[in-house]
A and B are shown apart, each in its own frame.
Chain A
Amino acid sequence: MPAVSKGDGMRGLAVFISDIRNCKSKEAEIKRINKELANIRSKFKGDKALDGYSKKKYVCKLLFIFLLGHDIDFGHMEAVNLLSSNKYTEKQIGYLFISVLVNSNSELIRLINNAIKNDLASRNPTFMCLALHCIANVGSREMGEAFAADIPRILVAGDSMDSVKQSAALCLLRLYKASPDLVPMGEWTARVVHLLNDQHMGVVTAAVSLITCLCKKNPDDFKTCISLAVSRLSRIVSSASTDLQDYTYYFVPAPWLSVKLLRLLQCYPPPEDAAVKGRLVECLETVLNKAQEPPKSKKVQHSNAKNAILFETISLIIHYDSEPNLLVRACNQLGQFLQHRETNLRYLALESMCTLASSEFSHEAVKTHIDTVINALKTERDVSVRQRAADLLYAMCDRSNAKQIVSEMLRYLETADYAIREEIVLKVAILAEKYAVDYSWYVDTILNLIRIAGDYVSEEVWYRVLQIVTNRDDVQGYAAKTVFEALQAPACHENMVKVGGYILGEFGNLIAGDPRSSPPVQFSLLHSKFHLCSVATRALLLSTYIKFINLFPETKATIQGVLRAGSQLRNADVELQQRAVEYLTLSSVASTDVLATVLEEMPPFPERESSILAKLKRKKGPGAGSALDDGRRDPSSNDINGGMEPTPSTVSTPSPSADLLGLRAAPPPAAPPASSGAGNLLVDVFSDGPAAQPSLGPTPEEAFLSPGPEDIGPPIPEADELLNKFVCKNNGVLFENQLLQIGVKSEFRQNLGRMYLFYGNKTSVQFQNFSPTVVHPGDLQTQLAVQTKRVAAQVDGGAQVQQVLNIECLRDFLTPPLLSVRFRYGGAPQSLTLKLPVTINKFFQPTEMAAQDFFQRWKQLSLPQQEAQKIFKANHPMDAEVTKAKLLGFGSALLDNVDPNPENFVGAGIIQTKALQVGCLLRLEPNAQAQMYRLTLRTSKEPVSRHLCELLAQQF
């Protein structure tokens, strides 16, 4: 046991810890712990009252046992007792136990809160700090409810000690993060901002964190902090390395505070005031200048602290994205770090440069470092650094360097870590498509991808190459030739067989003139791979074979022989069997004309956002593809690659073969010629077959990620009225006309919801291409997440299909999502856009509270923008019971005995979103005589108050 430096008397604890350490096995340790637990339990239960010291010792032992990873289910009460001890160390251990082991046992929380309350009121700064630390460590809602209103007072009180202010600031921050609705804004906020001027650096350090968090949610209320932060920062940056005494860290003045101030400034755009802005730019320049000075110490702490400020400065410069001079200087600085011997700096420089690459001012400057970055990709020993290098190459890619970057990334792929291969494949595929000057390069690149990393080439990637080849007739011959050559490799990846099979089935005729790739050679090459492939690939190859019969009549006999073989016709897999049977019959029954029509070349695919890009975004979260999305630095990039117009020569009348690979997005097939004997057969072949095929059309998910605004019409005129019907109820009929009925059933809990939509076909005719999709106009995508499940594309006459929607409210929102329903009825396209009945009040959680609490909160929300009020005429008979039911349906709790006037209604609730909670109070005053209502809403967020008020006012 080491010498304990400062007077600590818990010998029993030290002995126990030694015992545990001396245990030779896990079993021995558990035995020793159980013995100790039994001992403590008997001591706590014993008749003899324990003195404070023993209690402290045992509680501490329990804590130790818990931290070893064992469960503790007693001792909480003893710990709570320690809180009210007047001996500091006992109190301290009590608080530590509570902080580490708190559980939401309501009985205890009340006692704990009581002890905290006493300590906060004690005016003993040491005790106050302990109590504040405890609140900050636990941060539970119950504590927020008890103390959120008191702490601001302690924070700005003139007589609070500095250490108490520091703890109060961060304690409040924790409560605000956990339950922002509980922290009342008020006159204290202005005084908090002035803590930036405080003489005590520690107070400023703590306060900046709080202010930064408050600014993020209420930027306008805290604008005054900009100039204060700038002047504070300027004083620090220009101070000599010893001015700040103990706040200087390895010759760097106040690094933590500097970083926090720079972070705070990133909540705002550049300062509007020219003087403030000038002063800030001067600061930023000073930081950049200091980076060039020789280091004042060789210690890594010195360089880390200095560079922490430098990187935060660069983040601010990037955030402003308005000072070309600073951006280029930042880029040059990072360029120096790219070759630094510290791995950490290389990593951060690569990461930071990624953002610089997307600024129009510094994109070119970043590009000059391409060789260094490629070298990093090849030589860095740490995979996380290599990953950053790959990210940066992707970000700096444009038409001028695409070939070089793509070929380097392909080379890297051969040795890349398995964990990042799929991402690299996606990136290469995107860059190759985006910056392709000629499409033969694109085809080569994708085939190389499949060759090098076939396992990591996802469906999206190889679907995409097929789409592009189908849409561009200038590359089809080249593609056919190249896949033919690639397939000759003795071992080729199954994805290569899929691509090869598809392309040769469509365009094999373009290379059939060469005797080395004559039709029989093509067929036997493909068929030599057949037996090694999975069911899905074999199914695709069977479709290729039937296409071959059409393209090359000379292969008909051979292929029919293959289809007729027992291994096909009696295949255990029903999909393969069906194809073999149907294709065989088709090839024998149908005339050449019918065959040619049925198996015509695929029509061009409708252009839409690359599904690969959508996939990368899904992998990396929103914004990942931004470097490529914004065409701003390369406006010419869109004309060739962005929108591929279907070339007129390939536009053919849609035929049933359009469905061959399940392309449901294509126009639906017209009814096949009824006169032909094969006609009915054809319908069967092609309406059943594709369902099991991988779909090239947008899945509901993809369509949802890339909603083209032009794709859906405006909501129908009565959409708003229909929506209003659902504000206070969750189930019912959303829409009905002669053809279609849409019913809704939904349930919501906290910030989540599930909605069932029932689409009923009221006619006796099948709806075809039935596709309901959910679209998020404007910013809604960042506010509300709606996941839809796919529904069947056909709805039989008189039948009903159900669609499930999973909904997550990310933050408060004002507009509902749109539901667009499209289908074909008797050949005529029908489309309909409705507002989905998801309004912000669905995420209400009712809150019961006593009159006193209600009024206290009501007063706390007294800023003019927190209130919304509406006076309006009653549209329905004024029945108290109906009103009650509507208010409950709206989601708030109804509070009785709060309003002195029993005619009035008062409600409270919390809107639950993933990012924040918004507390809401409401009051509805009916005036029967005038047939009017007055509705008042108070919430902590201005738009929410107004929006709720509007929604609710329409209900009466």
Chain B
Amino acid sequence: MQFMLLFSRQGKLRLQKWYVPLSDKEKKKITRELVQTVLARKPKMCSFLEWRDLKIVYKRYASLYFCCAIEDQDNELITLEIIHRYVELLDKYFGSVCELDIIFNFEKAYFILDEFLLGGEVQETSKKNVLKAIEQADLLQEKTENMYHSKSFIGCKKAY
């Protein structure tokens, strides 16, 4: 996979993940072009389209479009299910996920994605294993947050 974009029905980009090196300018151009193309498509149309020398696989979940660019030999249907599994992971983590969760917790959305896909390839497909990795991190976080809150504020500051 070359990149993944999440954007709203209004065309606002909510998450972008690039697995190939591109300049910021190029990224913005691609995003603009694809958002326009995908939003112009009608609901019953097929989820795949040819774009430049890539294949675009997209799917809409409520107000959010998930859109992946894959290479010529990549499998379109399994990419659709990559999108779905990612949605399931977000859903499980946030508890019936909605667009707002991704806006306010964008960093979590990135962390979950990194556990699932790395370098554009599927790393771990087991929901349990992905969420275990994230929850472990959350535990670590809570522990440090608690330390941070329970210990004296001043003491902590001094350390830095």
Contacts and interface: CB of A to CB of B under 8 A. Distances in A.
Contacts of A348: 48, 76-77
Contacts of A96: 107, 110-111
A69 interface: yes
A257 interface: yes
Interface in B125-153: 125-129, 133, 135-138, 140-142, 144-145, 148
A875 interface: no
A553 to B, nearest CB: 58
Contacts of B77: 304-305, 307-308, 311, 344, 348
Given A2-B104, A312-B75, A51 B118 contact: no
Contact of A88 (B21, B44, B127, B141): B141
A265 interface: no
B8 to A, nearest CB: 12
Interface stretch (A59-67, A510-518, A722-730): A59-67
Contacts of A260: 122
B13 interface: yes
Contact of B144 (A87, A177, A384): A87
A53 interface: yes
Contact of B122 (A87, A139, A256, A266): A256
Interface in A1-54: 1-2, 4-9, 14, 17, 21, 49-53
A312 B81 CA distance: 14
B26 to A, nearest CB: 14
Nearest to A132: B118
B61 interface: no
B156 A305 contact: no
A167 interface: yes
Interface string A244-266: 00110100001111011001001
Contact of B123 (A140, A170, A305): A170
B33 interface: no
B98 A246 contact: no
A21 B77 CA distance: 35
B107 A93 contact: yes
A92 B111 contact: yes
A4 B105 contact: yes
A384 B127 contact: no
Interface stretch (A202-210, A495-503, A609-617, A702-710): A202-210
B130 to A, nearest CB: 9
B157 interface: yes
A15 to B, nearest CB: 10
Interface string B105-129: 1111011001000111111111111
A803 interface: no
Interface in A57-84: 60, 63-64, 67, 69, 71
Interface in A259-315: 259-260, 263, 266, 301, 304-305, 307-308, 311-312, 315
Interface string B28-65: 10000000000000101111111001000000000000
A7 B157 contact: no
B127 A178 contact: no
B9 interface: no
Interface string A719-755: 0000000000000000000000000000000000000
Interface in A148-174: 163, 166-167, 170-171, 173-174
Interface residues of A, number: 80
A171 B117 CA distance: 11
Contacts of A201: 125-126
Nearest to B98: A2
Nearest to A383: B45
A343 interface: yes
B54 to A, nearest CB: 13
Contacts of A174: 19, 118-120
Given A88-B144, A137-B114, A209 B121 contact: yes
Contacts of A301: 81, 84
A57 to B, nearest CB: 11
A202 B124 contact: yes
Contact of B138 (A6, A53, A173, A256): A6
B123 A246 contact: no
A385 interface: yes
Contacts, number: 194
Contacts of B129: 163, 202, 246
Given A8-B105, A344-B46, A308 B81 contact: yes
B125 A249 contact: yes
B108 to A, nearest CB: 8
B86 interface: no
A101 to B, nearest CB: 9
B160 A49 contact: yes
A203 to B, nearest CB: 9
Given A52-B160, A247-B125, A343-B44, A171 B118 contact: yes
B134 to A, nearest CB: 8
Contacts of B15: 67
Contacts of B106: 64, 67
A347 interface: yes
A89 interface: yes
Nearest to A342: B46
Given A21-B103, A67-B106, A305-B81, A167 B123 contact: yes
B118 A308 contact: no
A55 to B, nearest CB: 8
A206 B124 contact: yes
A125 B15 CA distance: 27
Given A50-B160, A384-B46, A7 B124 contact: no
Given A7-B141, A140-B21, A384-B50, A166 B104 contact: no
A509 interface: no
Contacts of B82: 256
B48 A170 contact: no
Nearest to B127: A246
Nearest to B78: A308
Contacts of B118: 132-133, 136, 166-167, 170-171, 174, 206
B10 interface: no
Contacts of B124: 163, 166, 202, 205-206
B89 to A, nearest CB: 12
Nearest to B48: A347
B13 A69 contact: yes
B95 A5 contact: yes
Contacts of A14: 104
A883 interface: no
Contacts of B78: 255-256, 259, 304-305, 308, 312
A645 interface: no
B21 A7 contact: no
Contact of B45 (A88, A311, A381): A381
A126 interface: yes
A96 B113 CA distance: 12
A170 B119 contact: yes
Interface in A332-382: 343-344, 346-348, 381-382
Given A50-B160, A174-B19, 5 more contacts: A53-B148, A89-B145, A178-B21, A256-B125, A343-B44
Interface of A: 1-2, 4-9, 14, 17, 21, 49-53, 60, 63-64, 67, 69, 71, 87-89, 92-93, 96, 100, 126, 129, 132-133, 136-137, 139-140, 163, 166-167, 170-171, 173-174, 177-178, 201-202, 205-206, 209, 246-247, 249, 254-257, 259-260, 263, 266, 301, 304-305, 307-308, 311-312, 315, 343-344, 346-348, 381-382, 384-385, 621
Interface of B: 13, 15-16, 19, 21, 24, 28, 42, 44-50, 53, 73, 75-78, 80-82, 84-85, 93-95, 98, 100-101, 103-108, 110-111, 114, 118-129, 133, 135-138, 140-142, 144-145, 148, 156-157, 159-160
5 contacts: A21-B103, A246-B129, A305-B78, A348-B77, A382-B45
* Nearest 10 Cβ contacts at the A-B interface: A174-B119, A308-B77, A308-B78, A170-B118, A246-B126, A209-B121, A343-B46, A88-B140, A382-B45, A202-B124
